[in-house]
Amino acid sequence: MSIYPSIIRVLTAAFSRFAIPFTFATTLGLAAVALEGAHDPAMRVLSAADVSAGLPAPSAAAALLGKSGAAAMLVLLFLAVTSATSAELIAVSSVLTYDVYKVRFSV
């Protein structure tokens, strides 16, 4: 029994999980550029340091939806982090259970 099929499954799941954050970041990043270009008063001007810190997406959400947009981004960030953490914990426990414990102790 090899550990490699489980590792490939874990890595595939981890890479496929990137689609949703990349979509949100691209959409809201482009919205931030469009709102800044249109000189929307709700959108504050972002410095290079703000852009490097990842603030275009929350700024665009706050400009489009007000305080509820900022709250939605905070909830989205919390849910993304807890979901990723949970999935990684389950993946690691599965690898340890099926590929290490089962092989080493022949259960």
In this structure, are residues 62 and 46 in contact, taking their beta carbons and an 8 Å threshold? no
| pLDDT tens, residue by residue, 66-107 | 999 999 999 988 988 898 899 889 888 888 888 777 777 766
| pLDDT tens, residue by residue, 3-53 | 677 788 878 887 877 887 888 889 998 999 999 888 888 888 889 999 999
CA distance 28 to 23: 8
Please give the backbone phi and psi of residue 55, each rounded to the nearest 5 degrees, phi first.
Answer: -90, -5
Q: Note if the pTM is more than 0.75.
A: no
Tokens of 80: 């993304």
| Mean pLDDT taken over the chain | 86
CA distance 64 to 100: 50
For 9-75, give the DSSP string.
HHHHHHHHTTHHHHHHHHHHHHHHHHHHHTT-TTSPPPPHHHHHTT-HHHHHHHHHHTHHHHHHHHH
